[in-house]
Structure 1
Amino acid sequence: MSEVSEENSKKAEDVKSEANEYFNKQQYDQAIDLYSKAIELNPNVAIYYGNRSLAYLRTECFGYALQDATKALELDKTYVKGYYRRASAYMSLGKFKLALKDYETVTKTRPNDKDAKMKFTECQKMVTMLMFQKAIAVEDNKKSIAESIDLDSMAIEDEYSGPRLENGKVTEKFLLDLMEHYKNQKKLHRRYAYKILLDVKDYLEKQPTLVDVTIPSESKFTVCGDIHGQFYDLMNIFQLNGLPSTTNPYLFNGDFVDRGSFSVECIFTLFGFKLLYPNHFFMARGNHESANMNQMYGFEGEVKAKYTAQMADLFTEVYNWLPLCHLLNNRVLVMHGGLFSVDTVTLDEIRKTDRNRQPPEEGIMCELLWSDPMPSLGRAPSKRGVGVQFGPDVTKKFLERNKLDYVIRSHEVKADGYEVAHDGKCITVFSAPNYCDSMGNKGAFITMQGHTMEPKFTTYEAVPHPPVKPMAYANSILSLFS
């Protein structure tokens, strides 16, 4: 341990107390800065790392949360909250067996701790269930959910008064009716929902991993970031910027679902526009279009509540075919996460990437979905525990190698809904305002003209929504990890 003066020890305690106040006000970034200051003054106190770990968990920096919890335990092996924090980070990263190991440690050292025992039991159930699902998946690997759907067996009841496909096709009228139907908190008939999913899957299977998009010289093009199940904010985007059409094209850049509790409404609206305007409405995969994320953060639970477990599995098949990125006018590359752990990646390599799978834990596909920019040069381990962080020099080399102007990505909450970084060459856009009803951020979207490709930013506040809280359908085990 480092030697620390009595004066610095006292200062560190004062700073920690101030950090706790910011944490309690949900101002997590300020809290993290102050916990870091306390650690600089006195790096020997486990609770400083433990508190910062929890703040990182709240800002979804799961990799940093894991590091801090581990450091806290190095300093004090009896610091029980350290095991809790580390288990939460492992859970968020889908590393359930490692989370279970931490809870096992707590239950052994504190056999009378009922809270720890409950969390250990719930985590054990999750590990057992996942092992069972994995065993079934191996047996069913060759079976397609899509092929097992029998639309003809899904009769339309006489009392159903909602929107209807016309001759099995999405029309403009259908989508207008659907959005009104959803605003009134009503449900699309399961037959039409399944039909949309099957048609979208059929279309996406024929698309490349990297989609080339041509924007005519005088035309406007809009790029939106994360929506995260915030349907009423999605409707506000269309109110502000116009509905998608052949003259008003859009690209939605991943994370359509999870966390927000109107994810079903968001995804069927977006997939409807994809079918209606396939050459003028684009959708890229985000890190939340994956089975693991959907299982934890609400989408799977929401689909099961509003439809069936079979439909949740079908969504997983459909998401596997979503493109990973879009190239606008051969000048701007748009992906959900970010750039790569090596400097040699080319557009051709991206085009050749096999995307029909669950995201791996490393490589091009993983990094396109998970990476984040950072202000300093070079690369660093990801604050999320997946992907990498990349600096302005990495962006510059990638753009030069591939003859591009700049990149657009999403994936991160920003106070103004967007951020321009790396000398204007790396732009973040995030379109879910007041994320999870708690972050207080604005949302934003980007518009550009084909001839200049210069990004223009529109920001907006959150709009009211019905009284269903975010994460209402999330896996109940998440509520244990706080």
Structure 2
Amino acid sequence: MASPEEQATALKNQGNKAFADHDWPTAIEFYTKAIDLNDKEPTYFTNRAQAHIKSEAYGYAIADCNKALELNPGMVKAYFRRGLAHTAILRPKDALVDFKECIKIDPNNRDAKLKLDECRKIVRKLDFFAAIEVGDEPSAAEGLDVDAIVVEPDYDGVRLDKDMTQEFIDDMMERFKNGKKIHKKYVFQILLAVKELVYNEPTMVEVDIPDDVKLTVCGDTHGQYFDLMELFRLNGKPSDKHWYLFNGDFVDRGSWSTEIALLLYANKWLRPKGFFMNRGNHETDDMNRVYGFEGECKAKYNERVFKLFSESFSALPLATLIGSKFFVLHGGLFSDDKVTLDDIRKLDRHQQRQPGQSGLMMEMLWTDPQEEPGRGPSKRGVGMQFGPDVTKRFCENNGLEAIIRSHEVRMDGYEVQHDGRCITVFSAPKYCDSTENKGAYINIGPDYKLHFEQFDAVPHPDVRPMVTQLPGP
């Protein structure tokens, strides 16, 4: 009979195999079983921390590294991985401390030196933006004369006049597939039109599905343009009889965030009453500055384009109510059971452009479900987690069948939790080319039945995302 220590080692080895297969949840499961048998081995905690980093559970990763350091205060890997997790949740000053400790213990640690340098750059960048931030900064649209911008005669795309057309959208999709851009005049036209459209929508858009219409709910797309094209190929493009709702996190991480954002915006402009978008936690300035979208905008277009995107992101609705049955929002539920749909209706999202560290907007963009009852600290290190009892009370108090949210990778592309009342949908398959997950979307007809569809990632050009070097997917 193998000893507990031997059994734990075997489980750790199974965890390592799952990790090598990019199956992070299974790796975490095996490492946890190893820890249950032997909680005195620090490498089990650092291994699990790395799997948590890959699945974006940065708060759990920090806790595991803390435990490893209790067991072995000189463990370089624990400091290094804790530094990665701190960086990922935009706490670069905490990460600086960790990477400095790595170098103090191991002066020749090249990786730690590189990360320390990256962290210093992030700290300088965030400090700079905090210093120049002013309350009433004029809009980037001020002084922008779009009519005066000339489209050169040799521009080889479809021309856009005063209104969006399906012909322009179809041409745009092909241009983006072929690595081409649209003219900056048209970028500005799209941004200005959609900024005004979404600004005038309520904080919670309320939608009923007509008898002859299908509505598709999509989760995170994260700049994975070619996978979005696959979704449209399988499920059909947006049309007058086929509505779409994109539930946040269109941008960052992937290599084609501007392409996805412009395509979604063009569809919104063409069919404002049949194409919907909720804001995600990545439609925010601090995430865009570190996770790639700002750099991509500036590289492909210019800084003004990013600023107009930023203004439009802060104007996006925070939730959509489908048929008074399904409450769709990016993150999840609230720290207070008293919150109702009326509170969401009354929330003035224009007053507070960025979500901050607390409050309804932050919770709507950041929280996650947990299996345990009640509420708990966030595995991400930001926001909190809510249990099945919290979901049940919210649905019963507000007359809902379920909440639909995104925000988290699911290996099957979707997951139904909390006795069917909490549904996660994620539409970025093979997330960041490093997680072997499927993508999914939900089709809803006039009968308000949910039909889950899965799809696989497709090949894409080898273009590196414009992301500050951060851990994991």
TM range (shorter): over 0.9
Which letter does structure 2 place at the counterpart of 1:220?
Answer: K
Q: CA offsets per residue over residues 75-98 of structure 1, 9 Å max, x none?
A: 222111111111111111011111
> Alpha-carbon deviation of 1:211?
0.8
Give deviations 1:369-394, integer Å, cap 9, x for gaps: 11222222222211111222222211
Give the CA deviation at 1:209. 0.9
The match for 1:258 among 252, 255, 260 is 252
Instruction: Report sequence identity in percent.
Output: 50
Q: Structure 1: which 5+ runs fail to align?
A: 1-5
- Of 407, 414, 417, the residue aligned with 1:418 is 414
1:294 aligns with 2:291: no
* Corresponding pairs, count: 470
Choose which of 132, 136, 141 in structure 2 pairs with 1:136. Answer: 132
Match of 1:3 in 2: none
> Are residues 75 and 146 of structure 1, via their aligned partners in 2, closer, same or farther at CA, if it must alter by over 3 Å?
farther
| Distance in 2, Cα, partners of 1:414 & 1:119 | 29
Amino acid at match of 1:386: V
Following superposition, the deviation at residue 141 of structure 1 comes to 4.2
Instruction: Give the residue type in structure 2 aligned to 1:422.
Output: H
Task: Give the direction of change, closer, same or farther, for the CA distance of 1:440–1:116 in structure 2 (3 Å limit).
Answer: closer
2:41 is the alignment partner of 1:45: yes
Choose the corresponding residue for 2:227, options 227, 233, 240: 233
Secondary structure (helix, strand or coil) at the match of 1:474 reads coil
Q: How far did 1:152 drift? A: 4.3
1:478 paired with 2:470, answer: yes
Alignment pair present for 1:177 and 2:171: yes
Q: 1:316 aligns with which of 310, 313, 336?
A: 310
Pairing 1:161–2:156 present: yes
Identify which range, 113-122 or 214-223, moves more after superposition. Answer: 113-122
Query: Following TM superposition, by how much is the alpha carbon of 1:69 offset from its aligned partner in structure 2, in angstroms?
Result: 1.3
1:462 Cα deviation after fit = 1.9
CA distance in 2, matches of 1:145, 1:288: 20
Answer yes or no: is 1:213 the counterpart of 2:196: no
**Which residue of 435, 449, 473 corresponds with 1:454?**
449
**TM-score calculated relative to the size of structure 2:** 0.94
Structure 1's 115 and 358: CA in aligned 2 closer, same or farther, altered over 3 A? same
Alpha-carbon distance in structure 1 between the residues aligned to 2:319 and 2:17:
41
Cα 1:111–1:466, aligned 2, differ >3 Å: closer, same or farther? closer
RMSD of equivalent CA atoms = 2.0
Task: Output one character per residue of 1:231-283: Cα deviation in whole Å (capped at 9) or x when no partner.
Answer: 12212222222221222111111111122211111111100000000011000
Per-residue CA distance 1:383-439 (angstroms, 9 max, x = gap): 111222222211110011111111111112222222122222111111122222232
Could you tell me whether the CA contact under 8 Å between 1:163 and 1:181 is conserved in 2?
no
**Shift in CA distance, 55/144, structure 1 to aligned 2, threshold 3 Å:** same
Could you tell me how far apart the structure 2 residues matched to 1:446 and 1:245 are?
Answer: 16
Deviation of the 1:302 alpha carbon: 1.6
Q: How does 1:77-476 map to 2 (within 5 A)?
A: 77-138=73-134, 141-152=136-147, 154-166=149-161, 168-356=162-350, 357-450=353-446, 452-469=447-464, 472-475=465-468
Whole-angstrom CA distance in 2 between matches of 1:23 and 1:16: 10
Q: 1:457 to 1:177 in 2, by over 3 A?
A: same
What is the letter of the counterpart of residue 280 of structure 1?
G
Q: Is the 8 A contact 1:208 1:323 kept in 2?
A: yes
After superposition, the Cα gap between the structure-2 partners of 1:416 and 1:30, relative to the gap in structure 1 and judged at 3 Å, is closer
**Structure 1 counterpart of 2:79, one-letter code:** Y
Q: Is the 8 A contact 2:212 2:241 kept in 1?
A: no
Asked whether the 8 Å contact 1:12–1:37 carries over to 2, the reply is yes
Letter in 2 for 1:464: P
1:331–1:406: 8 Å Cα contact kept in structure 2? yes
Determine if contact 1:107/1:120 at 8 Å carries over to the other structure: no
Alpha-carbon distance in structure 2 between the residues aligned to 1:463 and 1:265: 17
State which drifts further: 35-44 or 237-246: 237-246
Q: Which residue identity is paired with 1:137?
A: E
Q: Which residue of 2 aligns with 1:27?
A: 23
**By how many angstroms is 1:299 displaced?**
1.6
- Relative to structure 1, the CA distance from residue 12 to residue 269 in structure 2 (aligned partners, 3 Å threshold; closer, same or farther) is same
What is residue 53 of structure 2 aligned with on the other side? 57
